[in-house]
Amino acid sequence: LTADFTYVRFHGATGKYEGNYTPEMLGKWADLIRGWIPKLRDIYVYFNNDQGGYAVQNALLLKSWFEEGSDRRCA
């Protein structure tokens, strides 16, 4: 990381702009992101929308692990 912000873009679990991420897959990313929080001012996460509509579902799951009061360990 070379700036005070970063972004992560999810292009689909299969890498072909499609597919649903498992909690385990997102959990590994959540752990990485959690490690960046003390070092970065802003962290942006984008999910590519797909025909299955998984982007919203995946984004809400990832977001839930960072909400106040969440005791969920990601991975």
What Cα–Cα distance (Å) separates residue 6 from each residue in 11, 18, 49, 74? 16, 23, 20, 20
Contacts of 43 (CB under 8 A, 6+ apart): 5, 6, 7, 8, 33, 36, 37
Q: Which residue, 37, 41, 33, 45, is CA-closest to 75?
A: 33
What are 49-65's pLDDT values in tens digits? Answer: 888 889 999 999 999 99
Reply yes or no on whether the pLDDT at 75 is more than 90.
Answer: no
What are 27-43's pLDDT values in tens digits? Answer: 999 999 999 999 999 99
